[in-house]
Amino acid sequence: MKIKVSRKASFNAAHRLFRPDWSNEKNDAVFGKCNNPRYHGHNYDLTVSVTGEIDPETGFVMDLKVLKELIKEHVEEALDHKNLNVDVPEFKNLNPTAENIAVVIWDKLRPHIDKKKELEVVLYETPRNFVTYSG
Ligand code: NI
């Protein structure tokens, strides 16, 4: 029997979506307001889920205090109050779309979660726009 446990978190960050190899017109057409050269911010909401067997000794799939600390150390400290394009090395040559941010978060957390367990990241860029990545 497998069961999924989840922890919510949030962070604020600025970004700009653009491709330096495209014209300004094309960047505007594809990325719209997100191509603002002066950047803009989002309040990102995150749900990190771990799926696995219940440990018969503890009754946990994973101690959520531990998951909370992993998110704090590897996600919030890396991304909160940052300009994603400028401050976060992963986005030096990668557009910080919600899709790519979710993959980067998953990659940061995966090494710290028991290999026998599944990891899922749901990232909300706005209350209505969200992406899900599970590897
Ligand atoms: Ni945006």
Query: In tens digits, what is the pLDDT along the chain, a chain of 135 residues?
Result: 999 999 999 999 999 999 999 999 999 999 998 999 999 999 999 999 999 999 999 999 999 999 999 999 999 999 999 999 999 999 999 999 999 999 999 999 999 999 999 999 999 999 999 999 999
Output the CA 15–ligand 1 centroid distance in Å: 6
Catalytic annotation, residues = 34, 81, 125
- For the record, the structure tokens of 64 come out as 């959520």
CB-CB contact of 130 with 98 (8 Å): yes
What's the number of CA atoms in the CB half-sphere (13 Å) around residue 79? 28
Give the pLDDT confidence score for residue 10 in this predicted structure. 98
Residue whose entry in the numeric block shows the structure tokens 């959520």 = 64
Output the CA 117–ligand 1 centroid distance in Å: 32
Give the DSSP per-residue string, 69-103. HHHIIIIIHHHTTEEHHHH-GGGSSS---HHHHHH
- For the record, the structure tokens of 4 come out as 């999924």
Output the CA 126–ligand 1 centroid distance in Å: 9
